Structure formats: structure tokens, C-alpha cells
């Protein structure tokens, strides 16, 4: 009987074979649909026992045959198989699903690079054969699945993705980024806007729902990740990162310059024509509210740079710790000069060696060094953070140059009030020191104006309700402190 059946199958045509296989599959589907849960479990157990008794060669041959059959499947059969697989997976319990995922993960770990590349290539081919409706449905299902993730699942997925990308070669990373860049370039402006808005809404929802502990954990995680990347990057990667940052700042400046705004001459002409009117209080409140909403809490906070002693927005300041050896070495090499003969009062005011040993010999602003909100109560020196604005950081993180920041606490040499300041510090000099004269220092009292109208002018200005700066009240620097 078996020989006769084999002879019949060897002589049948492709259409007859396909018809026979479809009939067999339909009969099996009907039979299995009538199975009770006990019969289904018994059949699955028997099949599993049979598979466990296979030799490695038989197992490989069976998988090869299945793979060959699936490669010959038309798109319709492939879609039908995926639907049936999805239906079977929906019927599984959570324990069975977890076991299947662990087995799949183990198989993926054991696959060779050639098998991994072949699997990804076939998956890419299948997705290229998708119709637009199937593609849209798949993306919507994936998006819904991502929205239903818990914070732990979201973090675990990102960690797995990060671990996979850390193992990829430089060529693989370049290829992946170039592919992603090519996809982004093919986006229409509408699609790009939709994608960015969706990401913005998703991030806003995640940030608004997270607890203070989760936010602190996330920020600490990102800070540790950035620190690890900076410590392990090569000179070329560092130059590339700084170059990308410069390009980003340039793009932001170009975008700001391209904004349609009226010039001073246009405003004057409109005012002369009587077309400009003073804003009402409601309009001012609305504008300030929109401004505060756009900036956010971090954009409205301000802090002091420890290098230049200037107040800056928190978005324009990077926070470092005493574990960041690169920035500390650069500060020590450029800002430390033991040969200077400065007054004891000036040195005592800006000396921070009592805060941490790394600050020995440096004159820094204490207002830019923080420790749990109070720099005078230091129990663990490793928890010290100090702020550096982007302008000072750009100069300090250039290892191939030895120039000083344009603004810093003291100019590198004592300045006598009788010297020709304009001659000593030329505006065209690359190390020019602005506001070297005490008369032009930022600590001047704006109320002492010659015309006596500064107080009235300040009283008429309505300032936004910025949150209070978490900095203690500090005395003014000494009379001969050259502060910028």
C-alpha cells in the first residue's frame, strides 16, 4: 500500500499535489477543531515526545524541509499561515507563551551569523511583499502593543535593543543608520510631522505619568549612559559628536534667523501709521503662559556656571560630577596658574578646595557647585555636581586647543584700575575679557542711573513668574574681583 501510494505521488502533477495537500490540510483542520482540550494536549505531548527522540541530523533535515516548503509558498498561503499561527497563539496560556518565547530566544542565540542574516533577509522580503493594507495593520498592531507596555517591559525592551546594537559591528551599525536615514529622507513633510507629533505626544504622556522616583531613575540612567559613552569613545568619535553638536546649534540658529519677524524699521513704520497698539493684560498673560508651557519647567529654571559665574537657563548648562575626569583635567590645565599673584581676598572668595580636592588651585564660582541643595553641608565628596554653560564647555572639551573660555572668573592676571584696559584687552583678541572694569561689572546696581528713571522703568515692566532659583544668597565679590 505504501509503495503504491509513493508511486502515485511520484507521478502526480503539481496541481494534483497542491490539491491533495489542501484537502489533507482541511481534513486535519476539521479534525483538530473537533478535539477536546484533553485530546489536543495529548496529541501535542505525543508530537513533542516524537520530536525529542529525533537525532540532530533528523531534526535539521525536518527543519530544512519545512523551510523549503515555506520558501515556495505564495503570498496568499503565507498570509493564511500567519493568521492561523496568530489564532493558535491567542489560544495559549501565559505560561505556554513565556515558554515559547524562551525557546525562541535560545534558538536565536544559537544561530550562526549566516543564519541570522538569512532570517533577516527573508523577513525583509516578506515585508516588501506586503500590501499597503497589511503593512498599515501590522504597524498599528505594533503601536498598540507598545502603548500597552508597562514601564518595566518598556525598559526591558530598550535594554535588549541596546544590547543587540552594542554587539553589532561598525559596518552593521553604519548600514543600519544609513538605511534609517534613507527612510527618513523619503518621508513626506506630512508623514514626518505626523511621526514627530506622535513621538512628542507619546513622550509627554510617559513623562507626565511617571513618578518623581521614576523620573530621577530615568535621568540618572541617561546620565550614566552618556558618561559611559564619553569614557569609551575614541578621538574620532569625540570629534564627530562635537561636530554634530555644532551642526545642531547651527541649524537651530538658522531656524531662528529664518523666522518671519518684523525688523525695527518695520515696527517703527507700523507705529507711525498707528497700526501698533499696546498689548492688553490678558494678551500678555496668554503670551507668558504659552512661553512657559513651551519652555517647560527645565527651560525656566536657571543656574550659575562655575567657570564664568554667569546665570544661564538650565537647558544651556550641562551638569558634571567629580567623576568626570576629562572636564576636570581640562579645567586644571587651563584655569590653574600657580604663578599668579592675586590678592588674598580674591583667592579666598573663589577658592573651592574646601569643597573637594579636585578643585585645589582653581578659582571657581561657589554658586555653580551644588551638593544636595547646600554646598556648605558636604558629607560625601563624590556626590558633588558642578554646572558648566555650553559656551565654556565648548572650549574646555577641545583637546587639540589650549585657549581659555571667553568669560571666566578671573582673566589670568591681576588688572590695575589705572592700566589702559582698552589697550590691554583688545576686542579683536581671541582671549578678550569683557567687562574687565569694575564699573562695567554685572554686579552694578541698575537703580543708580543718572537720570533717576531706572526704578520707574523697572516698575512698569511685567516679568514672567519664573520659579525661584535654588541658590543661596551670596555676598558680592571683592572690589578687585574681575568677574564677568
pLDDT on residue 135: 82
pLDDT on residue 411: 52
Which residues face 302 on adjacent strands? 313
CA distance 437 to 421: 7
Specify the pTM.
Answer: 0.31
pLDDT on residue 158: 84
| E strand residue ranges, 270-339 | 302-304, 311-313, 317-321
Q: Where do the H-state alpha helices sit in 210-234?
A: 212-232
Nine-digit cell string for 309? 559665574
pLDDT on residue 453: 43
pLDDT on residue 369: 87
DSSP state of 385: E
The H-or-E segment that residue 274 falls in is none
Nine-digit cell string for 139? 504597524
pLDDT on residue 143: 80
CB 218 within 8 A of CB 152: no
Nine-digit cell string for 109? 542565540
pLDDT on residue 389: 92
Low-confidence ranges of the chain (pLDDT < 70): 1-4, 6-7, 256-262, 295-300, 337-340, 371-383, 399-402, 410-484
pLDDT on residue 435: 35
Cell 481534513, located at residue: 27
CA distance 1 to 24: 18
- CA 297 vs CA 64, 292, 301, 465: distances in Å: 59, 8, 6, 12
Could you tell me which of 334, 385, 335, 322 has the C-alpha nearest to residue 364? 335
Could you tell me which of 233, 253, 250 has the C-alpha nearest to residue 399? 233
pLDDT on residue 413: 41
Amino acid at each position: 500500500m505504501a509503495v503504491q501510494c509513493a508511486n502515485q505521488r511520484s507521478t502526480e502533477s503539481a496541481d494534483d499535489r497542491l490539491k491533495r495537500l489542501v484537502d489533507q490540510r482541511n481534513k486535519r483542520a476539521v479534525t483538530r477543531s473537533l478535539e477536546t482540550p484533553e485530546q489536543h494536549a495529548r496529541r501535542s505531548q505525543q508530537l513533542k515526545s516524537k520530536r525529542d527522540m529525533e537525532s540532530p541530523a533528523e531534526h535539521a533535515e525536518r527543519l530544512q524541509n519545512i523551510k523549503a516548503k515555506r520558501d515556495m509558498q505564495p503570498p496568499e498561503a503565507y498570509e493564511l499561515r500567519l493568521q492561523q499561527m496568530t489564532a493558535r497563539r491567542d489560544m495559549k496560556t501565559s505560561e505556554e507563551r513565556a515558554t515559547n518565547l524562551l525557546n525562541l530566544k535560545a534558538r536565536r542565540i544559537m544561530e550562526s551569523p549566516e543564519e541570522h542574516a538569512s532570517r533577516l533577509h527573508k523577513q525583509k522580503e516578506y515585508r516588501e511583499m506586503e500590501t499597503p493594507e497589511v503593512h498599515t495593520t501590522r504597524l498599528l498592531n505594533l503601536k498598540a502593543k507598545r502603548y500597552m507596555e508597562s514601564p518595566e517591559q518598556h525598559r526591558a525592551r530598550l535594554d535588549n535593543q541596546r544590547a543587540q546594537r552594542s554587539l553589532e559591528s561598525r559596518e552593521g551599525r553604519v548600514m543600519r543608520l544609513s538605511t534609517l536615514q534613507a527612510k527618513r529622507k523619503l518621508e513626506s513633510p506630512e508623514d514626518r510631522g505626523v511621526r514627530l507629533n506622535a513621538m512628542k505626544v507619546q513622550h509627554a504622556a510617559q513623562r507626565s505619568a511617571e513618578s518623581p522616583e521614576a523620573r530621577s531613575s530615568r535621568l540618572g540612567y541617561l546620565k550614566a549612559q552618556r558618561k559611559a559613552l564619553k569614557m569609551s569613545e575614541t578621538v574620532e568619535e569625540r570629534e564627530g559628536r562635537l561636530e554634530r553638536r555644532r551642526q545642531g546649534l547651527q541649524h537651530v540658529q538658522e531656524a531662528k534667523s529664518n523666522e518671519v519677524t518684523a525688523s525695527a524699521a518695520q515696527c517703527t513704520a507700523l507705529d507711525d501709521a498707528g497700526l501698533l497698539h499696546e498689548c492688553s493684560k490678558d494678551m500678555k498673560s496668554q503670551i507668558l503662559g504659552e512661553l512657559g508651557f513651551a519652555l517647560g519647567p527645565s527651560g525656566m529654571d536657571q543656574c550659575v556656571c562655575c567657570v564664568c559665574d554667569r546665570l544661564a537657563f538650565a537647558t544651556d548648562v550641562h551638569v558634571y560630577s567629580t567623576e568626570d575626569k576629562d572636564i576636570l583635567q581640562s579645567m586644571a590645565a587651563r584655569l590653574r596658574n600657580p604663578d599668579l599673584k592675586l590678592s588674598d581676598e580674591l583667592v579666598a572668595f573663589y577658592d573651592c578646595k574646601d569643597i573637594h580636592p579636585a578643585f585645589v588651585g582653581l578659582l571657581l564660582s561657589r554658586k555653580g557647585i551644588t551638593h544636595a541643595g547646600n554646598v556648605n553641608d558636604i558629607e560625601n565628596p563624590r556626590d558633588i555636581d558642578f554646572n558648566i554653560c555650553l559656551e565654556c564647555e565648548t572650549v574646555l572639551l577641545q583637546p587639540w586647543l589650549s585657549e581659555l573660555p571667553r568669560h571666566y572668573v578671573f582673566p589670568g592676571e591681576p588688572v590695575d584700575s589705572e592700566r589702559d584696559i582698552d589697550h590691554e584687552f583688545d576686542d579683536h583678541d581671541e582671549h578678550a575679557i569683557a567687562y574687565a572694569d569694575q564699573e562695567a561689572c554685572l554686579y552694578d546696581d541698575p537703580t543708580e542711573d543718572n537720570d533717576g528713571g531706572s526704578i520707574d522703568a523697572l516698575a512698569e515692566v511685567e516679568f514672567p513668574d519664573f520659579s525661584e532659583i535654588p541658590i543661596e544668597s551670596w555676598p558680592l565679590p571683592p572690589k578687585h574681583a574681575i568677574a564677568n
